[in-house]
Amino acid sequence: MNPKIIIHGGFFSESNTNQEVKIAKQKALVDIVTKGAAYLNNHTALESVVYTVSLLEDCALFNAGLGSQIQSDGKIRMSASLMDGVTEKFSGVINIKDVKNPIQVAVKLMSVDDKVLSGSGALDFARQNGFHYYNPETPQRRGEYEKKLNDSIRLGTVGAVALDRDGKLAVATSTGGKGFEIPCRVSDSATVAGNYANNSAAISCTGVGEDIVSGALAAKIVTRVTDGFSLENAIGKSFEELKHFDGFAGVIGISAKGEMFHFDSHPHMVWASFDEEVSVFV
């Protein structure tokens, strides 16, 4: 099996004339997916999605980790989750504050009984496991918060889906929220609606979390692939069902057969993939 990886960086919200930001995101995604693909050559799918999402969290162009959105009370709360297609185990953190890489805290939760923690409990667990204080705020984020802007260059989430050479699948997703939301609002990213994998397929979502949860999107797509749909058809049917409430979403996915697909209901989701060569959104 040829290893494959696909990543996303949320939605591109600027006007088409803002080429500087678009080019910066393209370059960042190419660099990160290339590093992720190289890592995947010698690591499992699970290890690789964690590594790659950590790189996305560390890039200030995206809304996860460094540069996360600020909630209406002036604080940053982040969410991230991880799912192993082999064991079908899920772990995640919801509304965690003051850590550098939420996805790495989610990894630690894989090995304990209580696999999804929120708020202060998630932070306590992180501190007990060696995750030190880190402020993910950037000057631009603070400026946006103070002006109460409604759009941003970092709209959405980040995610990675990988298929390793042994045919194993895994997915990881991380978000800094939508910005200016009610404190402690829960997004889709640390739920099976936004991040799901088994031994048939793996899906990471971005977009409006409430729409993704209402559509049970990631779990629904993976279930349809498990039941015999092609990845493309499973995604297509699931997005048709989002139209009932004008759901705003984008997904990336890989199936155990090696199918790789991305789709969005409201362009343009930013993405990149590696399958012998790099492809990137244009």
Q: Poorest-confidence range of 91-95, 151-155, 196-200?
A: 151-155
Which whole-number Å values give the CA distances from 94 to 31, 177, 202, in the listed order? 28, 10, 21
Q: Residue 227: pLDDT above 50?
A: yes
131-144 average pLDDT score: 91
Q: Residue 154: pLDDT above 70?
A: no
Angle between the N-to-C axes of helices 102-109 and 45-57, in degrees from 0 to 180, rounded to the nearest 10:
150
- What is the pLDDT, as a whole number, of residue 21? 82
109-127 average pLDDT score: 98
Q: Poorest-confidence range of 12-21, 60-69, 153-162?
A: 12-21
Q: Residue 29: pLDDT above 90?
A: yes
Q: Residue 216: pLDDT above 80?
A: yes
99-128 average pLDDT score: 98
Task: With H, G, I as helix, E, B as strand and everything else as coil, classify residue 256.
Answer: coil
78-82 average pLDDT score: 98
Query: What pLDDT band is residue 49 in, cutting at 50, 70 and 90?
Result: very high
CA distance 56 to 239: 26
- What is the pLDDT, as a whole number, of residue 180? 84
Q: Poorest-confidence range of 25-34, 106-115, 172-181, 237-246?
A: 172-181
- What is the pLDDT, as a whole number, of residue 13? 62
10-37 average pLDDT score: 84
Q: In whole numbers, what is the pLDDT of the chain averaged over residues? A: 93
Q: Residue 267: pLDDT above 90?
A: no
Q: Cα Rg for the chain, rounded, in angstroms?
A: 17
- State the pairing for strand pair 78-84/169-175: antiparallel
- Whether the CA torsion 20, 30, 103, 101 is positive or negative: it is negative
Q: Residue 18: pLDDT above 80?
A: no
Q: Residue 156: pLDDT above 70?
A: no
157-185 average pLDDT score: 94
The 8-class DSSP code of residue 150 comes to S
Q: Poorest-confidence range of 106-115, 133-142, 145-154, 254-263?
A: 145-154
**What are residue 124's phi and psi, to 5 degrees?**
-60, -45
What CATH number labels 4-280?
3.60.20.30
Q: Residue 151: pLDDT above 80?
A: no
236-275: string of b/e by CB count within 10 Å (b at 16+)? Answer: eebbeebeeeebbbbbbbbbbeebbbbbbbeeebbbbbbb
Q: Is 52 a catalytic residue?
A: no
Q: Which one is catalytic: 17, 44, 138, 157?
A: 157
Which whole-number Å values give the CA distances from 58 to 146, 153, 168, 192, in the listed order? 23, 16, 26, 24
